[in-house]
DNA sequence: CTCCAGATTATTTTT
DNA sequence: TAATCTGGAG
């Protein structure tokens, strides 16, 4: 067996990370400083030199893909398989624990996992039943609130106890709490957990159940957590409960890359690590092995503007390199097509498309790039959005699988009960629902005894019984037949592919194709699973996998393509050439996140994360005019650009307006506007670029109003009031 | 029960 | 703008 040359492969600090295995360690790892490598070598060191059994090691990564890559690289390094190592995301590790420990929990081991859409449809039902006005109690806010409380380990009963402490003027909180309570009941009734529940129940279980905790403390002798700056309170508790006795915990993170506070992540976890685990050894990795100096200079200058951080500077030995380019364009279409042109130039020079990424703040921005790249005949793939699994036909089919696996999952059953249409309409379904409710049985059971359900038409009764029998026949296969065969059987008997193919609508035809592709994806999963576990996967192996699958996990490496993704999704990746688009006020920083200094700093970190993805070439751009939904906006270059010294960029395309921009930047909180004006139709107004115009229509008030203007120059545009003046300059 | 068309409404980031 | 919802006709 080959010896591993730790000293040769690692720098001094990295070596320290690898070899300090006995106490708590905090690794503050700058972008591109080789933290993944350190984690891999640390695993190798534990397994090979310290003879630790693989199942005694827990490594938590940020994505499933990162977990897979870590495992692959480790096996290559060690030259032996390490399958029983626990590597995965918090969600996948926890769902595994919950399935194992279901005897101690209020749900079965085959619980369903509910995504956002499922969550919303449960909420919708509650709103309807309770007659709640969604204008008064916005659903999105409730959904958010539930998530926030769960991340802080608070279930409805915990809130109930503290209700009196809160002042509840509008009665909003009482309403929220009622909804939260019903929501949680509904989920339990369906034997379903949402994403946050997976963490919450694991944390609570470890906190309150001594024997279970002892079991996992003993099992996970060594714990490593990547991206620790993005862990929330629930995740903190999980780690803490496991490691609080032995303290053999190694966390890796970078406060400058914390970008998930909206998900409850708290920088506290990294800043107070030393309080939680006394005797911590802190190690800093600052040498960057990824980017040229020119890029790092920009990155350092950006992040230096943040106040709340551990001061540090990235440096590398990769040479000065090309200065980043800053370009401004007329509008978002020109921005996209010019980026496509640049990509073609890079391609002509021989750059692999896989080494090019286009980054943006919001998912909606991807559309323009898709169009421009298509026009330029450049293949691309969107990383991160779960396009495939969000398609209706795929979700429907997954609904079948969920209903077969978990007969309590009423959500899933309702989704498919009349899909494809089989003559079981709303009226019949409502009869079933009320019968199920009265008798405290699941919808599935109600269907089974359709003969006893009052109110049903004879035709409906027959159809329900037939469908119920069909489901029952598939259910018999669930535990005995490999998932791939089950999928094929169900798909064939439903005859969905033929059904969609019969249509003339190209949309429907695409659905047929997608279903075929779905089968391919299941068979890919089955193949990998079989080689890892030496048996074919059952439905119960597949469902948790798809539910926790993220868009980040499924990029087809084989295809040469430019990667499009949001700034959030680019974390942990690197590319030779990176384009960051849309550096405009209200887009980056985003208008929803510029209220407080904290929010602005997080947006700035987002920009920083994007910049530090680039190895050799970096292009930053903004549009002077942007179209959003049905209106037009004149934009201002982002604060994050204005605050930078121009020398950091290659000069060519800089808008002269920028260089003259003031260095000390405006106060953040919404500026008091002298222009809380009153607009009226027919009024004459002036615009910086378009000149004189007349208001044709007013929507809203003051500077927030959207105005339709006819300009003297002949142009018609919808413009925000804040961009207009009542007097000429 | 099903289908279609017009109305409505939501627009940050994600496991 | 585009995706989803609702209501009414067949």
CA of A456 to C1' of B2 (A): 18
The closest nt to A627, taking CA to C1', is C1
Residue A232: which nucleotide is closest by CA–C1'?
B15
- Give pLDDT, residue A629: 67
**Does residue A36 have an active-site annotation?**
yes
Cα(A657)–Cα(A255) distance, integer angstroms: 33
CA of A197 to C1' of C4 (A): 28
> Distance between CA A243 and CA A234 in Å, rounded?
14
The C1' atom of B13 and the CA atom of A105 lie apart, in whole Å, by: 32
The helix (run of H) or strand (run of E) holding residue A113 is: strand A112-114
**Of A262, A354, A342, the residue nearest A595 (C-alpha):** A262
Residues 6+ apart with CB under 8 A from A130: A178, A179, A182
Q: Which of A36, A217, A287, A445 is catalytic?
A: A36
Q: Are A69 and A557 contacting, i.e. CB atoms less than 8 angstroms apart?
A: no
Residue A315 CA, nucleotide B1 C1', distance (Å): 68
CA-based torsion, A428, A430, A431, A433: positive or negative: positive
Is residue A626 annotated as part of the catalytic site, yes or no?
Answer: no
pLDDT of residue A664: 32
What average pLDDT score do residues A422-430 get?
A: 85
Per-residue tokens: A358? 């286009």
Task: Average the pLDDT over A600-622 and give the result.
Answer: 95
Q: Is the CB of A247 under 7 A from strand B?
A: no
Instruction: For A322-375, write each residue's pLDDT tens digit.
Output: 999 999 998 888 999 999 999 999 999 999 999 999 999 998 888 889 889 988
Residues 6+ apart with CB under 8 A from A650: A322, A323, A324, A325, A326
Q: In the predicted model, is pLDDT for residue A52 greater than 80?
A: yes
Q: Of these residues, A101, A196, A197, A227, which one is catalytic?
A: A227
Query: Residue A415: CB partners within 8 Å, gap ≥ 6?
Result: A395, A396, A399
A602 annotated active-site: no
CB count, 10 Å around CB of A427?
Answer: 12
Cis before residue A207, ω within 30 degrees of 0? no
C-alpha atoms less than 13 angstroms from C-alpha of A41 in its C-beta half-sphere: 22
A50 carries an active-site annotation: no
The separation, in Å, between residue A180 CA and nucleotide C7 C1' comes to 31
Q: With 50 as the cut, is the pLDDT of residue A159 above it?
A: yes
3-class secondary structure, A140 = helix
DSSP letter for A719, please: E
Provide the token pair at A700. 């809203």
Decide if A324 contacts A294 (C-beta within 8 A). yes
Nearest nucleotide from residue A260 CA, by C1' atom: B13
Q: CB of A582 under 7 A from strand B?
A: no
What pLDDT band is residue A681 in, cutting at 50, 70 and 90?
Answer: low
pLDDT in tens, A298-321: 999 999 999 888 888 899 999 999
Assess whether A425 (CB) lies less than 7 A from strand B. Answer: yes
Q: Is the CB of residue A657 less than 8 Å from the CB of residue A634? A: no
Give the CA-to-C1' distance from A405 to C9 in angstroms.
39
Backbone angles phi, psi at A588, to 5 degrees: -145, 95
Predicted TM-score (pTM) of this structure: 0.85
Q: What is the reported pLDDT for A705?
A: 63
Overall average pLDDT of the A139-166 stretch: 87
The answer to whether residue A226 is catalytic is yes
Cβ of residue A351 lies below 7 Å from strand B: no
> What is the C-alpha to C-alpha distance for residues A33 and A315, in angstroms, rounded to an integer?
10
> A533 versus A26: which is more confidently predicted?
A26
For A522 and C8, how far is CA from C1' in angstroms? 42
Is strand B within 7 Å of residue A196 (CB)?
yes
What pLDDT, on a 0 to 100 scale, did the predictor assign at position A656?
43
Residue range A454-492, pLDDT digits in tens: 888 888 888 899 999 999 999 999 999 999 999 999 999
CB < 7 Å to strand B — which of 355-394 in chain A?
361-364, 384-386
What are A7-20's pLDDT values in tens digits?
888 999 999 999 99
CA end-to-end span of chain A:
79
- The nucleotide lying nearest A384 (C-alpha to C1') is B14
Of these residues, A563, A613, A615, A616, which one is catalytic?
Answer: A613
User: Looking at residues A140-164, what average pLDDT do you find?
Assistant: 88
Q: Which nucleotides of B are covered by protein (CB under 7 A)?
A: 1-3, 10-15
Residue nearest to nucleotide B14 (CA to C1'): A263
Is the CB of A537 within 7 Å of strand B?
no
pLDDT confidence band for A684 (50 / 70 / 90): low
Question: Is nucleic acid strand B under 7 Å from A263's C-beta?
Answer: yes
More confident residue, A651 or A382: A382
What nucleotide is nearest A629 when CA is compared to C1'? C1
CA of A219 to C1' of C3 (A): 48
Q: Residue at minimal CA–C1' distance from C2?
A: A629
Question: Which pLDDT score, from 0 to 100, does residue A669 have?
Answer: 29
> Which protein residue lies nearest to nucleotide B2, measured between its Cα and the C1' atom?
A421
Over 70: is that where the pLDDT of A727 sits? no
Q: Which residue is listed with tokens 């470890």?
A: A206
Nucleotides of C under 7 A from a protein CB: 1, 5
User: Is A227 annotated as catalytic?
Assistant: yes
For nucleotide C1, the protein residue with its alpha carbon nearest to C1' is A629
C1’ B4 / CA A86, Å? 52
The percentage of residues in chain A with a pLDDT greater than 90, rounded to a whole number, is: 50
Q: Locate tokens 């090979």: which residue?
A: A48
Q: In the complex, which nucleotide's C1' lies nearest to the CA atom of residue A143?
A: B14
- For residue A672, pLDDT over 60 is answered with no
Answer yes or no: is A90 CB < 7 A from strand B.
yes
Closest-CA residue to A33 (of A221, A287, A382): A287
Chain-wide mean pLDDT for chain A? 85
In this structure, the protein residues whose CB atom falls closer than 7 angstroms to any atom of nucleic acid strand C are: A 124, 629-630
User: Which nucleotide shows the minimum CA-to-C1' distance to residue A631?
Assistant: C1
What is the mean pLDDT of the segment spanning A557-580? 89
pLDDT at A668 over 80: no
Query: Which nt sits closest to A92, CA to C1'?
Result: B15
Tokens linked to A564: 């499009």
Q: Are A468 and A436 in contact (CB under 8 A)?
A: no
């Amino acid at each position: 067996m080959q010896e591993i040359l730790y000293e040769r492969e690692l720098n001094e600090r990295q070596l320290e990370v690898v070899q300090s295995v006995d106490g708590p360690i905090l690794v503050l790892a700058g972008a591109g400083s080789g933290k993944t490598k350190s984690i891999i070598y640390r695993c190798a060191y534990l397994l090979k030199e310290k003879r630790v059994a693989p199942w005694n090691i827990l490594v938590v990564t940020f994505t499933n893909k990162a977990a897979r890559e870590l495992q692959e690289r480790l096996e290559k390094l060690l030259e032996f398989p390490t399958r029983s190592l626990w590597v995965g995301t918090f969600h996948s590790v926890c769902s595994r624990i919950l399935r194992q420990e279901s005897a101690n929990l209020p749900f079965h081991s085959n619980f369903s996992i509910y995504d956002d859409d499922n969550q919303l449809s449960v909420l919708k039902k509650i709103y309807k039943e309770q007659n709640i006005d969604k204008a008064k109690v916005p659903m999105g806010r409730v959904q958010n609130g539930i998530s926030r409380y769960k991340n802080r380990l608070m279930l409805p009963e915990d809130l109930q106890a503290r209700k009196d402490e809160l002042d509840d003027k509008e009665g909003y909180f009482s309403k929220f709490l009622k909804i939260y309570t019903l929501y949680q009941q509904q989920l339990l009734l369906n034997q379903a957990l949402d994403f946050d529940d997976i963490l919450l129940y694991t944390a609570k279980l470890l906190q309150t159940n001594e024997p279970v905790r002892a079991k996992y403390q003993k099992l996970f002798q060594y714990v490593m957590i990547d991206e620790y700056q993005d862990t929330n309170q629930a995740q903190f508790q999980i780690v803490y409960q496991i490691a609080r006795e032995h303290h053999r915990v190694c966390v890796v993170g970078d406060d400058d890359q914390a970008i998930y506070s909206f998900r409850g992540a708290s920088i506290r976890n990294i800043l107070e690590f030393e309080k939680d685990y006394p005797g911590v050894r802190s190690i800093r990795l600052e040498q960057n092995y990824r980017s040229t100096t020119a890029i790092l200079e920009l990155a350092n200058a950006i992040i230096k503007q943040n106040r709340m951080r551990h001061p540090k500077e990235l440096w590398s030995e990769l040479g000065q390199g090309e200065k980043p380019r800053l370009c401004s364009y007329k509008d978002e279409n020109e921005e996209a097509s010019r980026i496509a042109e640049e990509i073609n130039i890079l391609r002509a020079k021989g750059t692999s498309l896989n080494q090019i990424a286009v980054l943006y703040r919001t998912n909606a921005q991807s559309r323009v790039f898709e169009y421009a790249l298509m026009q330029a005949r450049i293949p691309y793939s969107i990383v991160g959005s779960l396009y495939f699994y969000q398609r209706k036909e795929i979700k429907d089919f997954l609904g079948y699988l969920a209903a077969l696996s978990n007969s309590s999952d009423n959500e899933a059953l309702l989704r498919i009960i009349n899909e494809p249409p089989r003559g079981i309409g709303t009226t019949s379904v409502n009869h079933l629902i009320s019968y199920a409710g009265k008798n405290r049985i699941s919808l599935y059971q109600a269907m089974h005894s359709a003969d006893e359900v009052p109110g049903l038409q004879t035709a409906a009764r027959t159809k329900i019984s037939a469908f119920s029998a069909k489901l029952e026949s598939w259910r018999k296969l669930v535990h005995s037949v490999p998932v791939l065969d089950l999928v094929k059987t169900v798909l064939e008997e439903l005859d969905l592919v033929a059904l969609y193919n019969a249509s003339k609508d190209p949309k429907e035809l695409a659905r047929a194709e997608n279903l075929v592709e779905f089968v391919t994806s299941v068979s890919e999963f089955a193949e990998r699973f079989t080689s890892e576990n030496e048996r074919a996967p059952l439905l119960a192996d597949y469902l948790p996998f798809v539910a926790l699958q993220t868009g980040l996990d499924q990029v087809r490496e084989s295809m040469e393509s430019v990667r499009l993704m949001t700034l959030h999704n680019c974390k942990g990746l690197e590319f030779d050439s990176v384009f960051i688009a849309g550096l405009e006020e209200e887009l980056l920083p985003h208008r929803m996140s510029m209220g407080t200094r904290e929010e602005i700093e997080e947006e700035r970190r987002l920009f920083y994360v994007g910049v530090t993805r680039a190895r050799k070439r970096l292009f930053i751009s903004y549009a002077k005019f942007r179209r959003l939904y049905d209106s037009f906006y004149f934009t201002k270059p982002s604060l994050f650009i204005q605050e930078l010294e121009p020398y950091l960029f290659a000069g060519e395309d800089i808008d002269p307006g920028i260089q003259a921009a003031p260095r000390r930047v405006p106060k953040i909180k919404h500026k008091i506007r002298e222009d809380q004006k009153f607009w009226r139709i027919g009024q004459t107004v002036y615009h910086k670029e378009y000149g004189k115009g007349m208001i044709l229509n007013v929507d809203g008030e003051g500077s927030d109003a959207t105005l339709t203007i006819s300009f003297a120059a002949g142009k018609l545009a919808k413009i925000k009031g804040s961009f207009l003046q009542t007097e000429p300059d």
